[in-house]
Amino acid sequence: MLSRPLNRILCIHSIVSGRAGLNVELVGQRSDIALVSITDPSEGDIPHEICSLISAHDADVAIRSTIVALRTEFAPLPMRSYGSFCKIANCTKPTIALIDGDMGGVATELAMSCDIIYASDRSSFTLDQIRFGTIPGAGGTQRLPRAIGKSRAMEMALSGEKIGAEEAKEGGLVSKVLPVHRLLKEGIRLGDRVGDKSTLIQPMAKEAVAAAFETSLREGLLVESRLFESTFATQDRREGMTAHVERRKAEWKGE
């Protein structure tokens, strides 16, 4: 997915050490986006390693968001890996999945664990575990119906059928469908946009949106109200409002 000339255009400034089968680069205008790409899908337990990396990035103050570039399906996972996907969904920092190619069931589940999905126009998604005598075990049966509805998700889970990128976008699973040559550039631009917001307020926004999928409407509105009111006790809320009135860029302190 990456070429050296493209890397220069996309402001890839430095490379940090990855894990077996993975490569991690710091990208973006501020070098604060961790780009995780797969170099060898047959090497070890790749999904578990990706989850571990994202958890580490969540604790690293120098990293503002993580992009996971997926181009292939994974080998069958050890049982320990299935619980690891929750680590991605529970991260406080934004996670972005860039999809290019045919995603098998596990790759689809990994992508759905991220906050935002961009896909190339040649991509597809599936929950094909039924073909192997099992069912999705890393969130697929719970996250997919919330994205595309019960009937279509049930059809996919029971038949192992694929859906293309455009259908995934129409159903709400994917935010954008892009030509492959624009996928990485647009993903990094998104990382730059979300990365210049308050590190204190952004996790609150994530928690509020997540509540819509995990609670009733009444409970979700209470979560939103609680979080909204709590922002008014922060310095970043004051700075944001002041910067807006003064028509200048806010200088976030994370306080």
In the numeric block, which tokens belong to residue 150?
A: 């019960």
pLDDT in tens, 141-153: 999 999 999 999 9
Q: State pLDDT tens for residues 211-232.
A: 998 889 999 999 999 999 999 9
Q: 51 falls in which pLDDT band (50, 70, 90)?
A: confident
Task: Give residue 12's pLDDT band: very low, low, confident or very high (50, 70, 90).
Answer: very low
Please give the average per-residue pLDDT across 250-254, as a whole number: 89
pLDDT, residue 78, reads: 58
* The predicted structure's pLDDT at residue 79: 59
Let me know the angle formed at the C-alpha of 213 by 120 and 141, rounded to the nearest 5 degrees.
65
pLDDT at 115: 95
How many other C-beta atoms can be found within 10 angstroms of the C-beta atom of residue 149?
A: 13
**Residue 10, pLDDT score:** 42
The 10s digit of each residue's pLDDT in 53-101 is 888 898 898 999 999 998 877 666 655 556 677 788 888 999 999 999 9
% of the chain beyond a pLDDT of 90: 62
Kindly tell me if the per-residue pLDDT of 27 is higher than 60: yes
**Alpha helices (H) along 59-139:** 80-89, 105-113
Chain segment 155-207, per-residue pLDDT in tens: 999 999 999 999 999 999 999 999 999 999 999 999 999 988 999 999 999 99
For residue 76, what pLDDT is reported?
60
Q: Which of 189, 184, 193 is nearest to 71 (CA)?
A: 184
120 exposure class (CB count in 10 Å sphere: 0-12, 13-18, 19+):
buried
> pLDDT band for position 154 (50/70/90)?
very high
Question: In terms of residues, how long is the chain?
Answer: 255
